[in-house]
Amino acid sequence: MTKIAFIGAGSFGFTRKLVNDVLTFSRLQDATIALMDVDDERLAYIHKAVNRIVKEGNYPAKIVVTKDRREALAGADAVLCTILNGGLDIWRKDIEIPKQFGVDINVGDTRGPSGIFRFLRTAPVMLSICKDMEELCPNAILLNYTNPMAMLCRAMQSQSKIQVSGLCHSVQGTASMLAKWIGAPMSEIDYVCAGINHQAFYLEYKWKGQDAYPLIREAMKRPEVYNEEQVRNEMFLAMDYYVTESSGHNSEYNWWFRKRPELIEKYCTNGTGWNPGAHAFIVKSYEDRQKNWKDEIEKWLNNPEPLKLQRGAEYAAYIINAYLGGDTYVFNGNIPNTGLITNLPENACVEVPVLVTRNRLNPIHVGALPPQLAALNNLSVAIEEMAVTGSLIGDARMIYQAICYDPLTAACLSLAEIKDMVKAMLAFNQPWLPQFKTIDF
């Protein structure tokens, strides 16, 4: 019998959808679903939700609920991770402290000073999960949904023999968005996408075997299309290839859109996920989610309508099915760069097509990225490598040096100002940074 462990199962939306997808595969329907979280209330709610899915689907699955991570991991064949180390009151400071120093961040969970400090808090926990897996389920695959994706995967992949891949829905999500813009059904779209997480590009995007980029350029002439993803569309018009992650995220990852208030007003107010003063908007949206999550779950649990148990588009269930002997599957995953992208550093965490077969992840060689894309990726990789190394060896000065090179931070602050900001962030986060013997540098 297959065992699938969900670490951070209290992430209600993710866990509910992923369990639903897993149980749509015939070879996984009798799986043991181990739900682990540190929050009793959230764990109780997700138990009810999974129990409803199992009952309505008439699945022979078994549910195990535990706060003991080792119990959840013991004998697992696959592990899915959706943890958050530190709650909203901690995370919001990742945005609010830089804002006090003049760096206006939008989301703050992947790159820049905010993403790096989220990584620093999360990395020790993720590495301890890998260590437990090496003892309790060494042949299991670890599928990570926790951000910041690239830095966490790089840390785990450099320190553990566990097969780890990070999963992000931006690749398939953006592919569908582009298809909608040009009026194409996704069944007729083919693409090759590669780079790094949140900064991968569609090197090819074809409709019925023909290059669809001219159609995408034409679609952008429509105001509703241009405004939907203004930052990404501007990047495409400059770089000639479309980037995978949303405008909200990508506005943080470069120098071009957030270094002055008038640029934020011009480029970062239209379309989805935007609001003038976006940092405050994002924090408020998370506060609202925190306040309303129980109401939303209760509404779902008590809805008398039968559940729609169709399989969704997330990669995880397809990967697990293929890894355990089902049909092979290709997805875009975050894995070590073993010569896969030839103009990015060896062993850096890259996002490339991966073929899943029984017990193996088989990454697909891409070759060299166009130079204008490699330039942006290489800067992000260099910063992430410094942050990962600084975390692993407990060097606070290296964290400062990594943030010195962050494009948005460097466009807004002097080196002395960056040092003051990093010191303030280190001081606030000290209780969650056991890897640092000292935060002085």
Q: Which pLDDT band, with edges at 50, 70 and 90, does 279 fall under?
A: low
Sorted by where each begins, the domain ranges of the chain are: 3-90+110-168
Q: Which pLDDT band, with edges at 50, 70 and 90, does 286 fall under?
A: low
Cis peptide before 148 (omega within 30 of 0): yes
pLDDT over threshold 70, residue 179: yes
pLDDT over threshold 70, residue 127: yes
Q: Which CATH superfamily is domain 3-90+110-168 in?
A: NAD(P)-binding Rossmann-like Domain (3.40.50.720)
Told to judge if 279 belongs to the known catalytic residues of this protein, a careful annotator would answer no
pLDDT over threshold 90, residue 209: yes
To the question of whether residue 147 is assigned a binding role by annotation, the answer is: yes
The pLDDT of residue 290 is 66
Please report the DSSP string for 102-161 in residue order. T---SS-SSSHHHHHHHHHHHHHHHHHHHHHHHHH-TT-EEEE-PSSHHHHHHHHHHH--
pLDDT over threshold 90, residue 224: yes
Amino acid at 413: L
Residue 157: other Cβ atoms inside 10 A: 23
Q: Which pLDDT band, with edges at 50, 70 and 90, does 277 fall under?
A: very low
Kindly name the residue from 169, 249, 279, 365 that is annotated as catalytic: 169
225/206 Cα distance (integer angstroms): 19
Mean pLDDT of 139-165: 97
In the chain, pLDDT over 90 holds for what percent of residues? 87
